[in-house]
């Protein structure tokens, strides 16, 4: 765990993770980087792309910064647009779909410094942004 300290992370210091299909995640801060008990960053989904149904080991908030999405949980899709927030409690299966005509940019905030993702279709659990953390596993 990194020592907790105030810092500024410039764009050139923020790693990009290719999650397949053009989906890119940038990790701002987590336990390993900032010593934080939260994990933050952005994910960009190209037009027409989605992430697979999954759940996390912690609560999640998503703020749509750009574009238009549908969030899916409880078997329903719900529209969500710029500066709107989706809250997903730990263990709730969910996903996001870019239904707009521009890239979808989402800010994520997890209430844990270490995050896992469990894919609903397979039950496989992966470390957030680890090698198995793809937008569409197996694709």
**How many other C-beta atoms lie within 10 A of the C-beta of residue 31?**
17
pLDDT at position 104: 98
Going from the N-terminus, what domains does the chain have, and what CATH number goes with each? 15-127 (2.60.120.10)
Q: How far apart are CA 66 and CA 121, in angstroms?
A: 28
DSSP track, 23-80: -EEEEEE-HHHH--SSEEEEEEE-TT-B--SEEESS-EEEEEEES-EEEEETTEEEEE
Q: How far apart are CA 103 and CA 113, in angstroms?
A: 27
pLDDT at position 139: 59
pTM: 0.94
pLDDT, tens digit only, all 139 positions of the chain = 778 889 999 999 999 999 999 999 999 999 999 999 999 999 999 999 999 999 999 999 999 999 999 999 999 999 999 999 999 999 999 999 999 999 999 999 999 999 999 999 999 999 999 989 999 987 5
Question: CA nearest 49: which of 11, 102, 110, 117?
Answer: 102
Structure-derived torsion over alpha carbons of residues 31, 85, 92, 73, reported in degrees to the nearest 10: -150
Sheet strands side by side (includes 24-29):
16-18, 24-29, 39-45, 104-110, 60-66, 85-88
pLDDT at position 137: 84
pLDDT at position 114: 94
């Amino acid at each position: 765990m990194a020592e907790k300290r105030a810092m500024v992370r410039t764009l050139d210091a923020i790693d990009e993770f290719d999650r397949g299909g053009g989906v890119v995640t940038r990790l701002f801060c987590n336990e390993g980087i900032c010593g934080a008990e939260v994990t933050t960053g952005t994910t960009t989904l190209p037009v027409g792309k989605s992430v697979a149904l999954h759940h996390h080991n912690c609560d999640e908030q998503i703020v749509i910064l750009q574009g238009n999405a549908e969030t899916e949980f409880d078997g329903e899709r719900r529209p969500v647009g710029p500066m709107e927030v989706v809250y997903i409690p730990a263990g709730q299966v969910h996903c996001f779909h870019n239904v707009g005509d521009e890239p979808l940019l989402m800010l994520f905030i997890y209430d844990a410094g270490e995050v896992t993702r469990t894919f609903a279709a397979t039950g496989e659990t992966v470390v957030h942004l680890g090698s198995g953390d793809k937008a569409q596993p197996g694709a």
